[in-house]
Amino acid sequence: MLSEKSIVSGLVMMFVSINASAADYTIMQNSKSFKVAGAQVEEMTIKAGDTIHFKNEDPFFHNIFSLSDLKTFDLGSYPVGESKSVVFDAAGEVEIECAIHPQMYLLLTVE
């Protein structure tokens, strides 16, 4: 029979191994578009559990949000140099937009 201690340590190991595979991405807000490594992106695929850091590189505010069923969030308005993060924990599609610049759009697929 499993002891309480071994169940707890098993759960902790499971958590650590899930976490170890999670990746971090940074998406820049630059020239009123979403950019990864300097290139504009309108679609992107990540894995469930991954984190995206949304960093404002423009000398004006952006307001990043999503109304998607999978992940609804509003990071608020923030200035150049500031970064805010979202963890995407479930698989599906998320539409990411900027409340200030309607032309900014990113379709994120979480696998």
Nearer to Cu ion, 22 or 100 (CB): 100
Residue nearest to Cu ion (CB): 98
Of 2-10, 16-24, 77-85, 97-105, which part binds Cu ion (CB under 5 A)? 97-105
| Nearest-angstrom CA–CA distance, 36 and 74 | 21
Phi, psi dihedral angles at 95 (to 5 degrees): -95, 125
Whole-number Cα distances in Å, 30 to 48, 51, 81, 101, 109? 26, 19, 11, 12, 21
Over the window 52 to 71, marking each residue x when it contacts Cu ion by CB under 5 A and - when it does not, the resulting string is ----------x---------
Nearer to Cu ion, 49 or 95 (CB): 95
92-98 and 62-67 as β-strands: parallel, antiparallel, unpaired? antiparallel
List 27, 52, 98, 108, residue binding Cu ion (CB under 5 A): 98
